[in-house]
Structure 1
Amino acid sequence: MKSEAWIFGICTVFMVLVTPAYWLITAASEEGGDWTGTSALVMCTLLFTMIWIYLGFHAIKMDPRPEDRLDGDIAEGAGEYGFFPPFSWWPLWAALTFGLVVLAVAMAAWWLVIIAAVLGMLATAGWNFEYYRGEFKH
């Protein structure tokens, strides 16, 4: 985790340097500055800092992983990484119903929003429970 902490630390330093420079450059313009971009950069700086601190604290407390050690071998990192589904149609249906909700809101067709929301709930339920039945049942 030390390498990840270093990456976020470098990003934090970069953002600390870029944010005031952006504010000064936009403040010199005729409009008097871009508060939206400056606020976004400040928030990004704070988020990078938060992740850097979190990863730094956990890197100190945990044993180094093979990729964190200089003498670590590739074979030490072997093993199960988790469960990855082979395929699923449910994300497609969830995305289509979300697109239908957005389209219905844009058209102000509230009756279609309700229908799309119900279809979205069915798609989400199907996605959540797809491994409780069928070929890939656990």
Structure 2
Amino acid sequence: MKTEWKIFLIISTFLFGATILYGAWTAGDSGRVEWVGTVALLLSGLLTTMCGGFFWFVSRRIDLRPEDRPDGEMADGAGEIGFFSPGSYWPFGLALSAAIAGLGLVYWQAWLLGAGLVAVIFAACGLLFEYYTGTRRTAEH
């Protein structure tokens, strides 16, 4: 987490500097500040500052990870990360249904938007419960 908050600090510094430069440049060029771009850059800087602050707080509370230690090796980070389904079709269905919902929103077709949102919920539930086998009950003799 030590590396992450430093990266976000660099990005935040750049965005705040770009905000000042953009605001001054548009004010000097057109005689008035272009507020949409200035506010977008400012909010982007605040968002990256918030993410960097979160990573900074987390980095103070946890032990150093292998990536943060100067003597860390690649093998130190080895091990099981989690279970990832290699042959699942649900991510494809989720992406397709989100695309359908997006098209319904773009063309403002309520029926297409509704069908896409229902499909998104269905695909998300399918992805979530793909390996669910039910509650484990104790065998009664």
TM over 0.5: yes
Residue 27 of structure 1 aligns to a residue in which SS? helix
1:131 partner letter: Y
2:99 partner letter: G
1:103 aligned residue? 103
Percent identity, aligned pairs only, is: 40
Structure 1 residues 61-119: Cα deviation after superposition (integer angstroms, max 9, x where no partner): 22111221112222222211122220321222223233333434455543444444333
More helix by share: 1
Residue 86 of structure 2 aligns to a residue in which SS? coil
1:80 aligned residue? 80
1:70 aligned residue? 70
Q: Which segments of 5 or more consecutive residues in structure 2 lack a partner in the other structure?
A: 134-141
Between the aligned partners of 1:101 and 1:127, the Cα distance in structure 2 is: 18
Cα 1:82–1:24 shift into 2, 3 Å: same
Between the aligned partners of 2:76 and 2:40, the Cα distance in structure 1 is: 41
2:89 aligned residue? 89
Between the aligned partners of 1:105 and 1:61, the Cα distance in structure 2 is: 43
Instruction: Calculate the TM-score normalised by the size of structure 2.
Output: 0.78
Residues paired across the two proteins, number = 133
Q: In the TM superposition, what are the counterparts of 1:11-26 in structure 2 within 5 Å?
A: 11-26=11-26
Q: Which segments of 5 or more consecutive residues in structure 1 lack a partner in the other structure?
A: 134-138
Residue 18 of structure 1 aligns to a residue in which SS? helix
* Stretch deviating more after TM superposition (6-15 or 120-129): 120-129
Structure 1 residues 2-23: Cα deviation after superposition (integer angstroms, max 9, x where no partner): 1111111111211221110011
Between the aligned partners of 1:23 and 1:75, the Cα distance in structure 2 is: 48
Between the aligned partners of 2:13 and 2:106, the Cα distance in structure 1 is: 41
Instruction: Calculate the TM-score normalised by the size of structure 1.
Output: 0.80
